[in-house]
Each structure stands twice: as C-alpha cells, then as structure tokens.
Amino acid sequence: MLLLLAVGALVGITAWFTLEQPTAAPSSRTADSLPHARAAAGDAAAQLKLGLRYAEGDGVIQNDKEATKWFALAAKQGQTEAQYHYGLALLKGHGVVQDYRAAFSWIEKAAKSGYPKAQYSLGELYRYGTGTSLDKPRAYLWFNLAAAQGVEAAAKARDSLVWQLKPEQLTAMQEEARRMSLAPTATAAPSTALPAPAAD
C-alpha cells in the first residue's frame, strides 16, 4: 500500500512539473526589434529612445555618459529631438565635457527644424549670451516661435522681454517669426539684419 502511494505521488509530481513548464512558443521579439540592436545598427529613432532610457533610468541603470553617446549618434544623423537632447547634455556637462558653443550649435539645429523645446532653449541662450552673443531681439524671436507652438514658459519669457526692446526691434522680430512660421520648410534661418529705424 505504501508502495502504491509513493508511485501515485511520483506520477502526480511528474505530471504537475510537466504541466507547469512553459511551452516553447516562437518569440515575437527578434534581435531587430530590441532597441540596443536597432540602435547599434544605426537606427536614429532607436538611438534617441535608448538615449532617453539611459538619461531617465527607464529599464536600465541611469547613465549620463551612455545617454549622451546615443543622443550624439542620433543627432549626427539629423534626428531633431536627439539634437536638442545632445545640445542640453553639452550645455549642462552631463556625460560629456561642458561646451556652451557646441551646445548652442546643436540646440540651434533643432530649433531651426521647428522643435518647440529647442526654440525655447535657444531663446534662453540668446537671452543670457550663453554660447553666443547676448541678443535679446533674437531671444524674443525664438521665444515667440516656441510660444506659438504651446510652450507656456516661452510665452512668459517673450512677454518679459517686450519692455526691453525698441518698437522697431519688436516689429522686425515679429515679422521674422511670422515668415519663419509660414515657410514651407521648418529650417528657414532667421535673417540677422534689423531694419533701419524709420526717419521722422
């Protein structure tokens, strides 16, 4: 009787283990669908995504140097959001040696492509002369463009500069912002010349 009980228990345990083992289903995740593999293969969107994951510690250990590496790779391929994030990394010195001029250059590329956060950041760089010459009319221009795309902080910054600019500067920058916002390509560069003041 004891032998029958032992054999029954053994059969039951064996059946239980057999039922509990997962069946080998084909994996829907191929190596090409994994962000690391796609990023390493040169996919700019995957490089940006991986950079953001490292910057935020989303599913990976937070690592500014690794984030900046992926942002740089995607930025060099023309990925607008990556250009912005790479510029911010250079500006703050996160994961890379701080370089205000290079930061300005990368943020400007993203801003000229119409990326609203970059437009706001570029306005801040012009406002304080970080990586470029201090230029409050240009700051107003970029704040105005970002505000038109819904960046609330840009609207406040733009409005705070109104009283610091001459009427002809405001008019010129508003016209430039209008021209840029209506241009068929978002990469239209602003002119650098201000109109001469009207003669009385």
In a domain, 165, yes or no: yes
Same domain, 134 and 175: yes
| This prediction's pTM | 0.77
Range scoring the smallest mean pLDDT among 14-23, 57-66, 113-122, 160-169 = 14-23
Final residue of a structural domain among 57, 74, 98: 98
Residue 16 has pLDDT above 50, yes or no: no
pLDDT band at 113 (very low <50, low <70, confident <90, very high): very high
Of 49, 66, 98, the last residue of a domain is 98
Exposed/middle/buried for residue 31 (C-beta within 10 Å: 0-12, 13-18, 19+): exposed
124, 181: one domain: yes
Q: What is the DSSP letter of 31?
A: G
Identify the weakest region by mean pLDDT among 7-16, 138-147, 173-182, 187-196. Answer: 187-196
- Selection from 27-31, 89-93, 183-187 with the highest mean pLDDT: 89-93
> With 0-12 CB in 10 A as exposed, 13-18 as middle and 19+ as buried, what is 144?
buried
* Residue 163 or residue 199, greater confidence: 163
- Mention every residue, 6+ apart, whose C-beta is less than 8 A from residue 139: 123, 124, 126, 127, 157, 161
Confidence of residue 137 (pLDDT cuts 50, 70, 90): very high
| CATH number assigned to the domain comprising residue 86 | 1.25.40.10
CA distance 111 to 196: 27
Residues 127 and 176 placed together within one structural domain of the fold: yes
- Asked if 134 and 93 sit in the same domain, the reply is no
Does the residue 118 lie in any domain? yes
Residue 175, pLDDT > 50, answer yes
Query: How many structural domains is the chain composed of?
Result: 2
Asked if residue 118 and residue 94 are part of one domain, the reply reads no
Looking at the structure, tell me whether residues 139 and 80 fall in a common domain.
no
In a domain, 104, yes or no: no
Domain identity same for 85 and 135: no
Domain that holds residue 133: 114-186
Alpha carbon separation from 86 to 54, 74, 83, 92 (Å, rounded): 13, 9, 5, 10
Q: How far apart are CA 61 and CA 1, in angstroms?
A: 58
User: Is residue 194 included in any domain, yes or no?
Assistant: no
Q: How far apart are the first and last CA of the chain?
A: 118
Examine the pLDDT at 199 and tell me if it is beyond 70.
Answer: no
Quick one: pLDDT at residue 4?
A: 52
Phi-psi region of 62 (alpha: psi -120 to 50; beta: other; left: phi over 0): beta
In a domain, 193, yes or no: no
Mean residue pLDDT of the chain comes to: 84
- How confident is residue 8, by pLDDT bands cut at 50, 70 and 90? low
% of the chain exceeding 70 in pLDDT: 74
pLDDT over 90, % of the chain: 72
**Residues 131, 167: one domain?**
yes
Give residue 187's pLDDT: 44
